[in-house]
């Protein structure tokens, strides 16, 4: 025993040392993994930022184009105001450049954006001239400073109002204007593509780092797992720990795992078989006490307990099989039992899993339909109608029908609610059977 104890102690120390070493390797690979992930995140964030800001620049330029075109075509001065709101307030183009400057300045991608901005500024000179022509044609007196300072040529001043408008429209719709717009789009797309290529290269490099880190972590985890399993095997050879564990589980009323020596496993198996047999018998007794033997539904004893629970808003239904005594008298009790089982099956299937279906005795059934209020009257009526349709033609059975009385309640099923459902059930039977009535 002494030699074995010393040997286990020595082995445990070796395993602990190896586990510490593996832990250090795991920490190092985790650091590399975090670095690779951070690099990928930064490159992806830069790409997304570039794409967003570059398209902001494009949208700012498109906003100017849209407003100037609408103004020169319609003469709506608010469009001129929207134009200068973008130029002087929103400033999406300038903001996009400023946002990307710390990340891209000095690179070809940023130069592409600058060129797009220069083309946009070039278009603004044309746009100012077009708006000045339209304003002159409309004899506007109060103009933004940028338009008021535009100097029209003598030839432009000599044009008629219609000619000024035509020229203004031509300036912002001609081929030269569209060509410069396409140049803006080209430079913006070139910027995004350049950053995308950089991002792809960075992510390729980061992926190699990540793969190495993941491989290292996988190897480390495997070693740690192997050490852990080996330590568990050694500890399982000790008898005292399985015995103490078994005592604790017996006190808790749980089964004992099959561990330890052969003798311990034999005892555990004998105990577990006895434990499971008693458990199954207990469950069978509980099932018999709360369920109807013929139909498998909850019985009256279960109803007395469940009816006293708080169900929130619910609908309580009392259901009778019509003329059931005649079925027993005419076809015998065996057929009567089959009829009750069929009725129970149909009723249960027409309601939800969370609803409670009972056989109270004889041909009397009850349902507690939870989470139900008066808005579901027609749904409930439909369920009983389909049930009656199904029971009319059952192979091997005489035609059956169900009469139902229903009442809505909240909380538990009170005696008053039961009486209300029973009263309307009586009304259903008195008025032809095979239907449903609700207590008002």
**Given a cut of 90, is residue 216 above it in pLDDT?**
no
Q: What pLDDT is recorded for position 342?
A: 94
The pLDDT of residue 285 is: 44
**Number of CB atoms found within 10 A of residue 338's CB:** 17
Residue found under tokens 């192997």: 226
Q: How far apart are CA 149 and CA 146, in angstroms?
A: 6
Q: Is 358 helix (H, G, I), strand (E, B) or coil?
A: strand
Buried (b) or exposed (e) across 161-188, using 16+ Cβ within 10 A?
Answer: eeebbebbbebbeeeebeeebebbeebb
**Domain 300-438: what homologous superfamily?**
Reverse transcriptase/Diguanylate cyclase domain (3.30.70.270)
* Residues 6 or more apart whose Cβ sits within 8 Å of residue 324: 336, 339, 340, 362, 363
Q: Residue 247 gets which letter from DSSP?
A: H
Neighbours of 404 (CB within 10 A): 28
> Above 70 in pLDDT, residue 6?
no
Residues 306-354: pLDDT tens digits? 999 999 999 999 999 999 999 999 999 999 999 999 999 999 999 999 9
pLDDT at 193: 87
pLDDT class of 289 with cuts at 50, 70, 90: confident
Domains of the chain, residue spans? 2-207, 239-290, 300-438
Query: Tokens 């997304």 — which residue?
Result: 48
pTM of the model: 0.42
Count the Cβ atoms, other than its own, within 10 Å of residue 389: 11
Would you state the pLDDT for residue 336?
93
The CA distance from 434 to 402, in Å, is 5
Residue 215 has what pLDDT? 83
């Amino acid at each position: 025993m002494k030699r074995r104890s010393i040997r286990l102690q020595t082995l445990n120390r070796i395993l602990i040392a190896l586990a510490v070493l593996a832990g250090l390797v795991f920490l190092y690979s985790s650091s590399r993994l975090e670095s690779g992930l951070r690099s990928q995140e930064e490159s992806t964030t830069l790409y997304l930022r570039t794409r967003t800001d570059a398209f902001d620049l494009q949208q700012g330029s498109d906003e100017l184009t849209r407003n100037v075109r609408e103004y020169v075509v319609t003469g709506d001065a608010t469009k001129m105001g929207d134009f200068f709101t973008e130029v002087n307030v929103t400033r999406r183009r300038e903001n996009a450049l400023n946002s990307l400057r710390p990340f891209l300045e000095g690179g070809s991608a940023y130069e592409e954006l600058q060129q797009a901005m220069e083309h946009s500024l070039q278009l603004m000179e044309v746009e100012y001239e077009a708006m000045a022509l339209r304003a002159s044609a409309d004899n506007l007196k109060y103009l933004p400073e940028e338009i008021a300072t535009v100097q029209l040529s003598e030839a432009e001043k000599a044009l008629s109002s219609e000619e000024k408008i035509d020229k203004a429209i031509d300036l912002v719709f001609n081929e030269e204007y569209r060509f410069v717009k396409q140049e803006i789009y080209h430079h913006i797309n070139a910027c995004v593509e350049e950053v995308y290529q950089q991002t792809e290269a960075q992510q390729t490099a980061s992926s190699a780092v990540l793969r190495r880190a993941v491989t290292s972590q996988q190897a480390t985890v495997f070693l740690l797992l192997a050490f852990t399993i080996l330590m568990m095997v050694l500890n399982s050879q000790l008898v005292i720990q399985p015995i103490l564990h078994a005592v604790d589980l017996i006190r808790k009323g749980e089964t004992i795992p099959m561990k330890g020596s052969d003798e311990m496993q034999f005892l555990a198996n004998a105990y577990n078989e006895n434990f499971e047999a008693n458990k199954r018998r207990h469950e069978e007794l509980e099932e018999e006490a709360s369920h109807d033997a013929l139909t498998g539904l909850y019985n009256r004893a279960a109803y007395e307990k469940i009816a006293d629970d708080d169900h929130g808003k619910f609908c309580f239904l009392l259901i009778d099989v019509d003329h059931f005594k005649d079925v027993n008298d005419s076809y015998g009790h065996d057929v009567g039992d089959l009829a009750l089982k069929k009725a129970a099956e149909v009723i249960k299937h027409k309601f939800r899993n969370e609803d409670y279906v009972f056989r109270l005795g004889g041909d009397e059934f009850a349902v507690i339909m939870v989470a139900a209020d008066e808005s579901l009257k027609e749904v409930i009526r439909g369920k009983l109608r389909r049930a009656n349709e199904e029971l009319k033609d059952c192979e091997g059975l005489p035609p059956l029908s169900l009469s139902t009385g229903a009442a809505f309640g909240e909380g538990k099923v009170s005696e008053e609610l039961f009486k209300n459902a029973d009263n309307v059930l009586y009304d259903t039977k008195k008025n032809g059977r095979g239907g449903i009535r609700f207590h008002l």
